[in-house]
Amino acid sequence: MNALSIIIKREFSSYFATPLAYVFILVFLVLSSAFTFYLGQFYERGQADLLPFFNFHPWLYLFLIPAVSMRLWSEERKTGSIELLLTLPITLWDAILGKFLAAWAFVGLALVGTFPIWLSVNYLGQPDNGAILAGYMGSWLMSGAFLAIGCCMSALTKNQIIAFILTGITCLFLVLAGFPMVLNFFESWVPSLVLDLITGLSIISHFIAISKGVLALTDLVYFFAMMVLWLYLTHLALAAKAAD
């Protein structure tokens, strides 16, 4: 076991030492089911797939992921335990990746907890289970991108509320970037190259492709690139101002 896995283990179990884990999982399961069955008209559609389930994940993650990520570094800064962690003989990357991967695994666990919906759809019809698996993958990748953003915002401030809001707003922008209302706003005054870039940044367009069962390389690259970028920014932020 190396330093990274020890950090992951500690971080992961710390979720279950407080009510946070149970509250998060409960809220996630209740809301994702409620959205699927009521707003998503799971039954009324008469189709054996989980699109109505996955379609709401970006919106659900918008406020649930910042709730998980806000404490990652803010709390360490506030209590001063960051000083303890970063004077242990580990690298800064061990600490950053350890926290991130533990949070990502935790959200993955919450996703796995939604399996009754998968059981239901299999009971009701013959869905394309490959597409459903791809949908789960896409959702998990998206949560990873959100968490990486949250990691970075949390590294910037001692205040968890600020970390929550900054993460939420950044993620909201990325979710909305592909929507006409945002694109129309930019359309009139930015070059089309920039407009393409904004569209390309949109989490939604990449997620929708995957949730329909199409695992394209560009979408995978997009999500991993997001994670790498934001974790790198986290590293920069911590290296520059861990002590503030």
Partner 1 sequence: MIKVSHLVKQFGPLTAVNDLSFEVGPGTVLGFLGPNGAGKSTTMKMITGFLTPSSGQVSIHGHDIVAARQAAQTRLGYLPEGAPCYEEMTVKNFLTFIAEVRGARGTVRNQWVDRATDTVSLRKVLDQRIETLSKGYKRRVGLAQALIHDPDVLILDEPTDGLDPNQKHQVREMILSLSDQKIVIISTHILEEVSAVCSRALIISDGQIVLDDTPQGLRARAADHLAVSLKVDGLDPEALKIACQALSECERVEIAEGGLVTVFPVPGSSGLLMALQMLIADKGWQVAQLQQHEGQLDEVFRQVTLEAQR
Residue 6 or 183 having the CB closest to partner 1? 6
Q: State in angstroms the smallest separation of the CB of 90 from partner 1.
A: 6
If DSSP states are collapsed to H, E and C, what string results for 111-156? HHCCHHHHHHHHHHCCCCHHHHHHHHHHHHHHHHHHHHHHHHHHHH
Q: State in angstroms the smallest separation of the CB of 157 from partner 1.
A: 17
Residue 13 or 129 having the CB closest to partner 1? 13
Q: Which residue type occupies 30?
A: V
Residue 27 or 90 having the CB closest to partner 1? 90
Residue 217 or 243 having the CB closest to partner 1? 243
Q: Which residue type occupies 169?
A: I
| Beta carbons within 8 Å of 167's beta carbon, 6+ residues apart | 65, 66, 69, 70, 146, 149, 150, 153, 154
Query: How many C-beta atoms lie closer than 10 Å to residue 152's C-beta?
Result: 28
**How many angstroms separate the CA atoms of 94 and 89, rounded?**
10
Q: State in angstroms the smallest separation of the CB of 14 from partner 1.
A: 6
Rama region for 152: left / alpha / beta (φ>0; ψ in -120 to 50; rest):
alpha
Q: State in angstroms the smallest separation of the CB of 242 from partner 1.
A: 7
Contact between 8 and 96 (Cβ < 8 Å): no
Residue 92 or 165 having the CB closest to partner 1? 92
Residue 90 or 215 having the CB closest to partner 1? 90
**How many angstroms separate the CA atoms of 63 and 157, rounded?**
18
Q: Which residue type occupies 199?
A: T
Q: State in angstroms the smallest separation of the CB of 91 from partner 1.
A: 7
Residue 225 or 240 having the CB closest to partner 1? 240
Contact between 78 and 57 (Cβ < 8 Å): no
**How many angstroms separate the CA atoms of 78 and 75, rounded?**
5
Q: Which residues bind partner 1 (CB under 8 A)?
A: 1, 3, 6-7, 10, 13-14, 17-18, 79-81, 83-84, 86-91, 242-243
